[in-house]
A and B are shown apart, each in its own frame.
Chain A
């Protein structure tokens, strides 16, 4: 009888202990990114730091080339076997949220983000007012120019207007030496569309207004015309502008080897430029985007990246993922009041978007290279985040490339771009 009671008590104790045992079970979460191995190593170090206070959570990092990131998300993202956390480009969010591949942020995370990030950044990480990701980086565009080539060409300052841009490009072009004045990228959607869009907004135009394409505006027409003028003047050579799946290739090679005088590129290229140029990196200057005839001041488009959590992951994995992300992006995780995420981003020359990170890292953000980007942040216009945005971007890329290679005129390019954009955005909205 005594033995029977002992067994019953032991069983009861075991049943009571079950939930505790379930919480104590280790949770494995994975983090999908397109970062390079040295940056992945920094993220892994941060995960190790997190594991010191959260020994039951193991974070592994999976890295794919940028060109494969969306495909990987699409093919594995909503599956329980897919990555628990993914770093994504804000343009992809509306469709990932529509297809329920990403989980809404828990209330605590959402209220923290809304209080700690600028409203525009929070809005780019939200769909229909629901926050889906923790923003981390913001990217803007500026003119990068080779100071040594400027000096050789007798150009004293970077161009401030489109006329000055054309003039400087002509002075920097030496066809016999295989040197082009101004570099235009091709074979990479964002790489083609973002510099064009930055020139467009610096000319007072917009890509999309109230959800409708605005490429038929006068400002857009002038931007297409600028491209045609640069091409016909021979100051840019499209054959020198090809990019590969890792966003490197001849375009980068030509700029770092001093064969291209100026390019329009985002801040995150700092690490690629440093790696390619070594000590000669100090030759690179940064200046605001030249202003077009219809523009009032230098502007750039901006876009952001965020980390989202897989909606198909288990409850425990999702909880652990949000907890890890909240820690990774908090001022407690990094040095001197910055977040560990901001520290990782700064290693690549990427601007962090959390207000406290910008304050904590203001010395590093004041470097010669980055200060040119920080200065245009206030007047930057967010790249439109709409359903069908990726297809819109790829379609505009095709049109701009056709213009670069002389297959269409500026007027034809403008008409094609507007017609395609209308059709794509209307279909996506259905």
Chain B
């Protein structure tokens, strides 16, 4: 009986495990193996030559390979951090606005907010590159109305990455607002009534009830937002090509340039492994932090 039960468990698990193995674990293992090889992407795996950790030494070394990788890594980290810092509070704020039952047109506002998420990135990139145009762009024209001089936006290494972050926030905030609204609907209304009877004002209700009970939603939003931000590619490829002076050269774009355009498969794989490891560390740290808060 036990043997039969065990057999059926394996029979049921095998398809799922096999699929995960073939489509997730195998490519990850292959990337890890390739990161230890000298290999041109355009040739078969049989041409790969084992070079140990040389690719990793190279990407953290003092040459242009190392400098470009470290620059792209830093750009990705800044882009991700700024995106999270802007998206999460905005999504909660907009979620609270839209969630208010007595606000007229709430569902229309919800649809409008979510619609930005559905616009294809190519259209977003085309429109935003014109909005940011230093000479004829509407943003600079609007700034001119309030006496602020023209900003370089995408044309300066000091502002280009932040400009791409704004574009990302605009496109993604609607999606995260919907997640925030979903979280808000799970909070019992009776808690707010009890708080009001106890004399709590709106801010106290927000900090004592809303924020703590939204923690799981925010954790999920943060994880998804981090993964989305780390994978940023299209706006860079379509608008800035990593420039000026590499200021918008993010890791996915750089890995594509190294691994595909230059066919340096080993180096590109080493960079992909570092990206994967960093993502794992950040996500685990986030969960650990959330667990500690839960324990408290």
Contact = CB atoms under 8 A, between A and B. Distances in A.
A424 B257 CA distance: 15
Contact of B135 (A74, A253, A404): A253
A405 B237 contact: no
B133 A250 contact: yes
A67 B244 CA distance: 15
Contact of A99 (B43, B244, B260): B43
Given A245-B238, A245-B239, A390 B261 contact: yes
A245 B42 contact: no
B228 interface: no
Contacts of A100: 42-43
Contacts of B89: none
A36 to B, nearest CB: 16
Interface in B216-248: 237-246
Contacts of A70: 261
Interface string A144-165: 0000000000000000000000
B243 A186 contact: yes
Query: What 9 pairs across the A-B complex have the smallest Cβ distances?
Result: A187-B243, A99-B42, A239-B155, A239-B152, A420-B64, A401-B245, A242-B155, A186-B244, A423-B63
Given A253-B135, A398-B246, A405-B245, 6 more contacts: A71-B256, A187-B244, A244-B241, A394-B257, A398-B68, A424-B64
Interface residues of B, number: 35
A391 interface: yes
B63 A420 contact: yes
A372 interface: no
Contact of A241 (B63, B155, B256, B257): B155
A186 B64 CA distance: 18
Nearest to B155: A239
Interface string A238-253: 1111111100011001
Interface of A: 67-68, 70-71, 74-75, 77-78, 95-96, 98-101, 178, 186-188, 238-245, 249-250, 253-254, 257, 259, 390-391, 394-395, 398, 401-402, 404-405, 407, 419-420, 423-424
Contacts of B241: 67, 187-188, 243-245
Given A239-B134, A259-B135, A395 B245 contact: no
B64 A405 contact: no
Contacts of B68: 398
B40 A99 contact: yes
B92 interface: no
A75 B41 CA distance: 9
A139 B174 CA distance: 47
Contact of B42 (A74, A244, A253): A74
Interface string B247-277: 0000000001100111100000000000000
5 contacts: A178-B150, A187-B243, A249-B129, A398-B68, A401-B245
Contact of B262 (A75, A101, A391): A391
B277 to A, nearest CB: 25
B193 interface: no
Nearest to A403: B245
Nearest to A192: B243
Given A71-B260, A238-B155, A245-B238, A395 B64 contact: yes
B154 interface: yes
Nearest to A242: B155
B64 A402 contact: no
A248 B52 CA distance: 43
B96 to A, nearest CB: 38
A249 B129 CA distance: 9
A402 B157 CA distance: 9
Contact of A239 (B42, B136, B156, B257): B156
B134 A240 contact: yes
A402 B245 contact: yes
A24 to B, nearest CB: 34
Given A186-B243, A401-B243, A420-B64, A240 B155 contact: yes
